[in-house]
Each structure stands twice: as C-alpha cells, then as structure tokens.
Structure 1
Amino acid sequence: MSSQKKGWSDRFLTKLEVAGNKLPDPSVLFIIMSVAILLASAVAGIFNVKAKNPATGETIEAVNLLSSEGLVLILSESINNFIEFPALGMVLVVMIGIGIAEKTGYFEALMKRTIEITPEKFILPTVIFVGIISNVAGDAGPVILPPIAAMVLMRIGYHPFVGLLVAYAATNGAFSANIILGMTDALALGFTEKSAQLVDSDYTGNIAMNYYFIAASSFLLVLVLYFVTKKVVSPRLGTYEGVSFTHEKISDREVSALRWANISVVVAAIALLLLVIPENGILRNPETGSIINDSPFMNSAVFLITILFFIPGLVFGLKAKTLKSTKDFGDILADSMGTMGGYIVLVFFAAQMLAYFEWSNLGPIIAVYGAQLLESINLSGIPLFISFILIVGLINLLIGSASAKWAILAPVFVPMFMFLGYDPAFTQMVYRVGDSFSNPISPMLPFLPLLLTFAKKYDKDVKLGTLIANLLPYSIAILIVWIIFLIVWYLLGIPVGPGGPIYLEQ
C-alpha cells in the first residue's frame, strides 16, 4: 500500500516538475503578460467595456493601449515606469545592509554560534527559530542553516536528515513569518501599494504593515515545526548508522568579532529608540506626535533597517579580518548588488506590465466584476481567504519567485479585496500565508536541489522523492495551523500591523 502511494506521489511530482520546467523565465512571463494586456485592452476598448466603481460611483472605462495615444504613452513612459517602481529602491537599499552582513560572514557566524551555545534540550526549537528569522538574510538561511543543523542535531541523536528537513522547512515554509523586518516586507509592499493605487491613487502603505501578524506567527510556527519533527518526521526516519560529520566551529577571532558586532547593533538600536520613544523624539510625527502615522520613523524604516544590518556586518568584518581594506568593502557591496541583477531585470518588465494594467483600467474592471461574482456566490470572508491561500499555494508549485507571483496577482486581488472592504495590508498578509506553506515542497525553488546535495553527503542513494515526502507533513501542518490562526486573528479584528487594519477605513 505504502509503495503504491509512493509510486503515485513520485509520478505526480515528476509531472509537476516537468510542467513547471516548461514555464518561461519570469521576465519572459511578464513580457508575454504585457502583450496579453495590450491585446486585451484593445478588445475591451473596441467593445466599450466598462464597470461602475462601487466605492465612488464613477464609471470605469477600458482604454485601448494599441491606439496612437496608447502607443505614445507606452514608448514615452517606459523608463519612468521602471525608475518610479516603489519596490526597486527599497530592495536595493536594504541589500546594502544585508550584503555587508552576509558577505563579511556575520550572518553565518551568528547562526553557528547561536546553535553552539544553546543547551541540548533547546537545540531543536532554536534551530527552527533561527531558520525562521534567517529569512531576513535573504538566501543565506536555506543555504547555510540546513547543513549546520544536520551536523548539530546528529550530535544529539537525531538522523541528519531531520536537521536538513526541519531547517529547510523553517527557512522556506515559514518564509513570511519573522520578528525582524527585511527585504521580503519591502518586496511585498512595492507591489501591494502600486496595485492599491489602481483603486485609490492616494493609498500608501508601510513596510511594517504586516508586522503584528508575522511576528506572532514566528512563535506559533516554531511550535508547529517542532511538533511535526518530533511526532512525524523523526520517528519516520529512525536512527542513522552512516558516517558522522562535524561542522567547523567558529574561531576565537570570530567569536570576539561576533560579540562586538552584536554589541554594536544593540547600541545602534538603543540610539534609534532614543530618537523615537521620547514625546519630543525627532522621528515622531512633528504635528501629532505619532510614531506610526506619517512619521519620519515609518517613512525612513527601510533605511533604518539597512543601518541595523550594515553596522554589525561592518564591525564583524573589521574584527574578523574578512574586511581588510576599502577595496574589500567595495567588492562586497558590488557583489551583493550583483546578486540583484535578475531582480532588476524582473522589475523592469513587471513595472511595464503593471503600468499597462493601470492605464488600461482592466485591473479595476476585473476587480469590480470579480467582487460582484464573489458576492453573488456568497464567497467572502473566511471562505474567500482560504480559497485565495490555496490558489496561491498551488501557483507557488509552478512559480517559485514570491515577487513574480505577487506582481501577477496583486493588480487583480488587491483591488478586488478593496471593493469587498478589505485593506491592502490584510490582502497582502493573506497572500503571504499562501506563498509560504508550499515552499518546502515546491520543485521551483532553487534550494531543493541544493538540499538534495546536502542529503547525499549522508546517503548517496537518496532521491528527491524522499525529501519531498518528508517535507510534505511540514507544509500540511503549516497550512492548517496558519489558516486557523489567520481566521482567529480576523474574527478578533486585530490589525495585522501598524497602519494595517483588516478593513478599509471609511
């Protein structure tokens, strides 16, 4: 029976992987979608497609972008579409800080040292927690943590695959949960804000507008991943009888550098608090005294986060001698920005697609009719959220990039949810839950083949099916618990973050 199930699942995953591999590169996908939008705008314009905005009562008419006026707009505004795209500047600025912290070795040393000094009974939950918060370091988490976790957990009696799997599930399955704001939040905000402005041109969000929910989710998912590991994955894998490996401990110099780096970030955080907490703090709103609403603190949040990464990374590099000269400094910054080349290209085409969607008025029209359809079949509230989460999770199996998916979905679902009365911050949070839970089993993530490489170190005959079969319980548990948590949060009416209410403010 079990062999039949395994055979069916292997065939299903193989077909899924083949289908996913046939999808074009995300940049090409955006080009195709841009062309499709232009053609759709022409058809809609010719047939005078229109809809009535239920919020303002105004009539929204489709605009033919293949007209002479439309073509002039496309050609003359292409550069501005790219330059003015909100997420571009935010992500590149954050990468300055993250790049220094990652390339000097600060993130890696911090993860290693945290696990090394943790008492044995707390090692497994610590690995999970480190995995969740390591998302702030971008790709560093799923690349660095799994092999370290495998060696550490094997040392206290677990199968090394347990360490690989739980670290991978934590860094990817809990991708949208964190107690630290970072590049993921900036990426999501850029697409959400642009899409919300299709309905309300004055709408502005902030990088922290999901923070309450993602911070609370961090601790909840530690418990979920711990339970699945102890009750499902570890018993299933049993004991390990192969060759043991040891991970290289960080040197005394690195320990000292890490200590000074951590002190520096604490000092920087205290200095920041002194600018925010006092009633006359310069980072408060000068008129209202608010820390959140239109305050210098929230308006400069991206740059402040960059500083809080940059300082400990710089201190660690200087003390650990991984940063020896100004040339090293320049090389690290160039290297970290070099990794963003693919994203910059992606943004160029995504920005054109979103601009065409905005100019054509197709987004609001689809959103109006979509909202009316959902209302007619009474699909709103909890059933709507669950359906959206499942749709995103399935799409995630074919398109691994979170920004690519949200660039496609946001222009439709953000306005649609707005017409149903939901704030873009809440829609973004629902999306992020759907975008995370299926990450561990997605064949489209580039880290899955890397995980297989790590696993072959312990068992040269292991195959991808084994890893996915043991990662599936994590995805299912995260999905179920996170949906329940979201429903409870929604029913209590708690904002998902500062400036992030569930409902649009009337």
Structure 2
Amino acid sequence: MAAESATATRTDRILAAVERVGNRLPDPFLLFLGLFLLVGVVSTLLQLLGTSVTIPGSDEETAVRGLFTGEGLAWLTVNLGPNFIGFPPLVTVVTILLAVTVAERTGLLAAAIRASLGAAPRWLLPYAVGFVGVNASVMADAAFIVVPPLAAMVFKAAGRHPLAGLVGGFAAVGAGYSTSMLVTSLDALFSGITNSVTGGLPDPGATVTPVSNLWFNMASSIVLALVAGFVIDKLVEPRLVREGAPVVMVEAEADVAADATTEADDDVAPALRAAPTDLSPELEPAERRGLRAAGITFALLAVVIVAAVLPGGSPWRNEDGNFLPESALLDSTVFIVFALFLGPALAYGFVSGSLRHAADVPKVMGLGIKDMAAFIVLAFMLGQFIALFNWSNVGSALAVAGADGLESIGLTGYPAIIGFILLASVLNLFIVSGSSMWTLMGAVFVPLFALLGYEPGFVQAAFRVGDSATQVITPMNPYIWIFLVMVKRYEPEAGLGTVISRMLPFVVPFWISWVAVLTVFYLTGADVGPGVGIRL
C-alpha cells in the first residue's frame, strides 16, 4: 500500500507540473494569434528561400506560400470571413448544440439516464463509457460534443465523480477516434485515399475497401474500451478525489439572475435557465410520461429515416445505389443527430411540462449559444490559423519532410512500421485532420511498404494508431477547446494545461495497447479485414 501511495503521489506531481506549465500559456485567442503570426513569418521566409516539396504521386511541386507577401495579404483580406465561417467544427458544434441544449435543459437527458441506470453496477460504468466513446466515431465529430457530458451525467447519477466521466468520455472519443465496431465514413475515406496511390505499384495487393480494417478495428475497440475503463477507474477518478475536484457544475448565478430580468427570458420556465442537476434515481410521473413520449418520437424518427434511405432509388444513396464510399446519408450525420435529439426533447418537454409554449424552444436554444459564446469568439482565430496553415502549404512541407526523414533511415521489417506509427503520432500533434495526413503520408509510405512486402490495407491499419492516440493533447485539435469549456463548468480556473494533464494518463496506455493489438495481428499473420492480410 505504501508503494502504491508513493507511486500515486509521484504521478500527481508530474501531472500537476504539466498542468502548471500548460496553464501559463496565454489566453487561447492570443495563443493562436501568436501562432498565426509565427506561421506567417515562417511561411514568408520559406517562400523567399524558394522552398517547395514534391508530394509523391503528384507531377507538380508544391511551393510554400508566404503570408507577408502581396499574394498572402490579398488572400487574408479576401478570406477573413470565409476562414471563420468555414471553420469545420463550427457547423457541427453550433448545429448539434441547439438540439442538445433543448434535450439537456428540458431534463430529457437526465431523466433518460436516471431511468436507464437502474441497478447497473457502479464498477461497470467506466468501461461502458470507454466502449461508447471508442465506438462513437460512427457519429463523426458530433461524438466530441455528445459523449463527454452524457458520461458526466451517468457518473453523477451513480454517485461517482462526474468530472471523471467527462474526462473519460472525451479521451475515449478522441484517442480512439479511428476505430469502431461498425464501419464508418472514415473507413470509406481512408480506403479511397489508399487505393488512389496503389495504381502504379507492381503488386498493388488486395483492393482496399471500407471493411478492409474491420477485424483489426473490432479487436482494437474492445481492447481500447477496457484500457479506457481501467484508466478512468484506477487513475483519473482517484486523482480527482485526492485533489478534491468539484463534483457539481458551477452555475453563473449572477448571469442567470440578470438574464431572468430581461424580457426575452420572462416566459422561459425557471427550470430551463440552468442545466438539470437533480439526478436522483426516482422519476416523477410527469417525467415518466415525458420519457414515454420521447421514446415513441425517437422510434418514429428512426423509422422515417430508415424508410427514406433504404429504397434503391433513395436520394441519400450514391450514384451506384450504395452508401459507401460516399453518399448523402454519410454527409447527413449532423442532421440525423440533430433530429434524433431535438424531436424527443420537444416531445419530452411539452409532455412533462418543462416546456410551456412553442416560443420557449428558440429561447432555450439561445441559452446554449450563450454557453458557447467564448468558443465562437475563439473559433474566429482558430479558423484563421488553420486556414493559413493549409493555404501556405507549411503543413504539407512538414509532413513530407518528416516522411522523407523516416524513409531515408532505411528501416525494414516491423521496426519500420513502429517508426511509421511514431511519425504519425508526432505529426498528429500538428495536423489533426486524418484525411489530410493520410493523403500526404499514404502517398509516401504505401508504395514504400509495398516494396517491402506489406499490404496497403495493413499499412492503413497501422496509420490509424498514430492518427488518433495523441490528438487529445494537441492544441491543434479544435474540439479540445470545446472540451475546455465543458471542464470550466466544474473547474472555472482550468486551462489548457488542466486538459492536457487530464488526458495524458490515456495517451500512453492507448498507444501501447493499440500497437500491441497490431503486433498480435502481425505476428499471427491474421487478416486485418476481409481478404486483407499482412504481407502481399
């Protein structure tokens, strides 16, 4: 026991040091303003030096473009607005937030969780959160918004630390993003990129399809769910308890009181002005009636969606009549999540009485937007920075240089695969878009490893490990800033360092266990998916 206590103390000190260092970083808006200017200076210097890179598979060189040139400044003045409005997470976050806010403020989420928990054992909750989070990539980026707060509510209802559920939910979603028990749009995206670079190979191997990594993904999702549950249960939650981290969300009472005096909020039921916090297991009769109405509404919406997409001539299918690799159905993920939250939330609200008038609905949605005002402001700067990073081609130059460096080492065999995963993990700190990074890395490493005798589908499976494990600790991940807003509801003084210190206990175990799964497939020669082995 003494040894375990000493180990926990050392771990706490290390994570506390990381938190202190991270929290010394400037305000996120100013941080990314500084990074924006830094990339602008570096890109300008590289352009003056005539820097360009050739992406394998492309016949033309890609030149680095500088911000502080005539072309660069013209680009900025023309695209300042589009860079902000076109910031990818903004569409997903704001749209889904409108529906999730209604589901939260009406009490639907709290009531559903309280009703479903029943006699579920407390010890199982961390592993359930891990499994749901790891497999939530089927919801695409919406998982970053939906899973963490739900996990916090589940933990709260079971008498466990809600912040542990919040942290575990985000870590499971982010660090395990590239895997799932189900085939997702990401599988289709990756397979299309892989096939695009195998055409000129003497032996292109098995055609890569959306199911080419299915066996590997299924095994990985089970292992990662167990690892996530163990880390939440044995590392994260005990540390939160030792620190005395708050278990109740901090409500901006002064702001709520001020809002209550405005004409806009006069007709909003008082219960809607703050997220429900009563998670006692006993449901009121009105809540039970609301849950039944919500369940019926959810079922009807699901039937309508299935009936719309199943017919052969459905406009939600692609030109070939399928859903993969691309289709309107896959592009409708945000709408589906929005509808499946909003419809049941409205049914619950009006039946249970938490919504009184139709006019309450937009007012409640507005409360959610108020909660995210800080992120929307930050999104302006994030959008400028990411747009510059892409337009200047600094990201492409960084990825190609890193890939060329590993290729020049001349590693062969499995150590080369490990080196490839390590490189992907490092680059993932700078380029969190999996499709962008795989486009760049796949063009180099798929042909390289094919010449060494590896199936392109296996190389793609190895890439998935590096593409996800480290993205929960990089400021380049836009959803980490959304998560920071969630954490601040419990810890108002939290900063980026707080988030990183909470995420670090997941990164190394996820990385090691995921590599271990890949190693088992490699050593046994088992297929990573239907018809896709390890060796050509």
TM-score normalised over the length of structure 1: 0.69
Whole-angstrom CA distance in 1 between matches of 2:397 and 2:229:
45
Whole-angstrom CA distance in 1 between matches of 2:300 and 2:423:
45
Q: What is the number of residues matched between the two proteins?
A: 432
Whole-angstrom CA distance in 2 between matches of 1:425 and 1:336:
39
Structure 1's 385 and 131: CA in aligned 2 closer, same or farther, altered over 3 A? closer
Whole-angstrom CA distance in 2 between matches of 1:346 and 1:251:
40
1:369 is paired with a residue of what secondary structure? Answer: helix
- Give, in angstroms, the shift of residue 414 of structure 1: 5.0
- Identity percentage of aligned residues: 24
- Give, in angstroms, the shift of residue 301 of structure 1: 2.5
Q: Which residue of 2 aligns with 1:250?
A: 283
Of residues 38, 41, 49, the one that matches 1:39 is: 41
Q: Which residue of 1 aligns with 2:333?
A: 301
Q: Which residue of 2 aligns with 1:93?
A: 95
Of residues 353, 372, 379, the one that matches 1:347 is: 379
AA matched with 2:75: L
Of residues 287, 307, 327, the one that matches 1:274 is: 307
Structure 1's 432 and 86: CA in aligned 2 closer, same or farther, altered over 3 A? same
- Give, in angstroms, the shift of residue 348 of structure 1: 1.7
Query: Are the counterparts in 2 of residues 104 and 317 from structure 1 also a CA contact under 8 Å?
Result: yes
1:481-506 per-residue CA deviation (whole Å, 9 max, x = no partner) reads 344346668974449xxxxx999xxx
- Give, in angstroms, the shift of residue 415 of structure 1: 5.3
- Give, in angstroms, the shift of residue 382 of structure 1: 3.6
- Give, in angstroms, the shift of residue 363 of structure 1: 2.0
Q: Which residue of 1 aligns with 2:467?
A: 431
Whole-angstrom CA distance in 2 between matches of 1:319 and 1:301:
27
> Which residues of structure 1 form unaligned runs of 5+?
152-159, 201-207, 238-244, 396-404, 454-464, 496-500
Whole-angstrom CA distance in 1 between matches of 2:372 and 2:437:
27
Q: Which residue of 1 aligns with 2:10?
A: 8
Structure 1's 180 and 115: CA in aligned 2 closer, same or farther, altered over 3 A? farther
- Give, in angstroms, the shift of residue 31 of structure 1: 0.9
Whole-angstrom CA distance in 1 between matches of 2:344 and 2:360:
16
Q: Which residue of 2 aligns with 1:125?
A: 124
Whole-angstrom CA distance in 2 between matches of 1:209 and 1:338:
43
1:63 is paired with a residue of what secondary structure? Answer: coil
Q: Which residue of 2 aligns with 1:363?
A: 395
Task: Kindly indicate whether residue 170 of structure 2 is the aligned counterpart of residue 137 of structure 1.
Answer: no
- Give, in angstroms, the shift of residue 12 of structure 1: 2.3
AA matched with 1:173: A
Whole-angstrom CA distance in 2 between matches of 1:210 and 1:250:
44
Query: Are the counterparts in 1 of residues 103 and 341 from structure 2 also a CA contact under 8 Å?
Result: yes
Whole-angstrom CA distance in 1 between matches of 2:26 and 2:437:
23
Query: Are the counterparts in 1 of residues 290 and 348 from structure 2 also a CA contact under 8 Å?
Result: yes
1:241-265 per-residue CA deviation (whole Å, 9 max, x = no partner) reads xxxx993522222122112212211
> Which residues of structure 2 form unaligned runs of 5+?
134-142, 198-210, 241-277, 447-456, 493-497
Alignment of 1:54-453 (within 5 A): 54-116=56-118, 118=120, 124-125=123-124, 128-129=127-128, 133=132, 137=146, 139-149=148-158, 151=159, 167=165, 170-176=168-174, 219-224=222-227, 247-285=280-318, 287-377=319-409, 378=411, 380-386=416-422, 388-389=424-425, 413-414=437-438, 416-421=440-445, 430-435=466-471
Whole-angstrom CA distance in 2 between matches of 1:209 and 1:98:
34
Whole-angstrom CA distance in 1 between matches of 2:16 and 2:304:
53
Query: Are the counterparts in 1 of residues 290 and 351 from structure 2 also a CA contact under 8 Å?
Result: yes
AA matched with 2:27: D
1:256-277 per-residue CA deviation (whole Å, 9 max, x = no partner) reads 2112212211221121111222
Structure 1's 502 and 29: CA in aligned 2 closer, same or farther, altered over 3 A? farther
Query: Once structures 1 and 2 are overlaid, which stretch shifts more, 485-494 or 312-321?
Result: 485-494
- Give, in angstroms, the shift of residue 227 of structure 1: 6.1
- Give, in angstroms, the shift of residue 10 of structure 1: 3.8
Query: Once structures 1 and 2 are overlaid, which stretch shifts more, 208-217 or 250-259?
Result: 208-217
TM-score normalised over the length of structure 2: 0.65
Query: Are the counterparts in 2 of residues 164 and 451 from structure 1 also a CA contact under 8 Å?
Result: no
- Give, in angstroms, the shift of residue 21 of structure 1: 0.7
AA matched with 1:264: T
Give me the CA root mean square deviation. 4.9
Structure 1's 98 and 233: CA in aligned 2 closer, same or farther, altered over 3 A? closer
Whole-angstrom CA distance in 2 between matches of 1:431 and 1:410:
6
Query: Are the counterparts in 2 of residues 363 and 412 from structure 1 also a CA contact under 8 Å?
Result: no
AA matched with 1:144: M
Query: Are the counterparts in 2 of residues 173 and 438 from structure 1 also a CA contact under 8 Å?
Result: no
1:174 is paired with a residue of what secondary structure? Answer: helix
Q: Which residue of 1 aligns with 2:19?
A: 17
Structure 1's 322 and 116: CA in aligned 2 closer, same or farther, altered over 3 A? same
1:296 is paired with a residue of what secondary structure? Answer: coil
Whole-angstrom CA distance in 1 between matches of 2:434 and 2:179:
24
1:339-390 per-residue CA deviation (whole Å, 9 max, x = no partner) reads 3323322322122122222332222222221110121233753433256448
1:56 is paired with a residue of what secondary structure? Answer: coil
